[in-house]
Amino acid sequence: MRVVLIGPPGAGKGTQAVRIAEHFSCGDVATGDIFRSNVAEGTALGRVAQAYMDRGDLVPDEVVIAMVMDRLAERDCDAGFVLDGFPRTVAQAEALDRRLAGLETPLDAALNFEVTEEELFRRLAGRSAALHRSDDTEQTIRHRLEVFAEKTRPLIDYYRHRGLLIPVDAIGPVEEVTVRILDALAAKKAT
C-alpha cells in the first residue's frame, strides 16, 4: 500500500499513519518527526529546519524532497509506505510522482483528513500542553493553518484530478477513524 496523508496540523494524521502502516506492515514516514529528531540531535539538517519549524513555515522543498527520497529507499518502504506530512506543496507532489513513476510503483491513494477549524484548535491546544511542542503556540498554529490553506490545500485538487483522493471524516474516536480509512482503502483497491 502506498498512500499519502493530507490534512491540516492537528487532523490526526500522525496517529492514523502509525495504525495504517501497522495494518499493511509498511513504512511510516513522518517528515515532521524526522525533522524533530534531527533538531534534537543537532544535525546539519536539523539546524536548517529549526527556524522554519519554529515559525510554522515550510522547510524548503529541495531539502524536504531530498530527505524523503532517501527515506523511501530504506528497506521498510519496499512493502509500501504511509507518508505523513509529505507532500505539502505541489512541487513535492510532483517530485514524488516522478520518483514513483520511475519505479513503476504508483500511489494507491491520497487520504484527505477533514476536520473543522474549531476542532483543530481544541486538539492543538491540548497537544501543546501535553507535548510541549514549540510550534504549537496559538500564533504559530494560526500561521500553520494559513500555510496549509495556501500551500497544501491545492494538493486536494491535484490528487482528485488523478483519481486518488479519498475524503476521510477525521472527527470521532481514533479507532472509528481507522476503520473508516481501512474500509475506504479496501473499497478503492477493489475498483
Which amino acids are annotated catalytic? Answer: 13, 88, 127, 133, 144
**How many residues line the site for ligand AMP (CB under 6 A)?**
17
Q: For residues 139 and 142, what is the distance between their CA atoms, to the nearest angstrom?
A: 5
Task: Give 43 or 189: the residue with its C-beta nearer to ligand AMP.
Answer: 43
CB of 191 to ligand AMP, least distance (A): 28
- Close Cβ partners of 82 (under 8 Å, ≥ 6 residues apart): 1, 3, 4, 5, 17, 20, 21, 24, 26, 27, 28, 29
Indicate whether 7 belongs to the interface with ligand AMP (CB under 6 A). Answer: no
Which stretch in 72-80, 84-92, 116-124, 156-164 sits in contact with ligand AMP by CB under 6 A?
84-92
Name the amino acid, one letter, at 9. Answer: P
Task: Give 63 or 171: the residue with its C-beta nearer to ligand AMP.
Answer: 63
Q: Is the dihedral of CA 29, 32, 35, 36 positive or negative?
A: negative
Indicate whether 16 belongs to the interface with ligand AMP (CB under 6 A). Answer: no
Torsion angle, alpha carbons of 84, 163, 107, 189, to 10: 100
Q: From the list 56, 120, 124, 158, which residue makes contact with ligand AMP (rule: CB under 6 A)?
A: 56
Indicate whether 3 belongs to the interface with ligand AMP (CB under 6 A). Answer: no
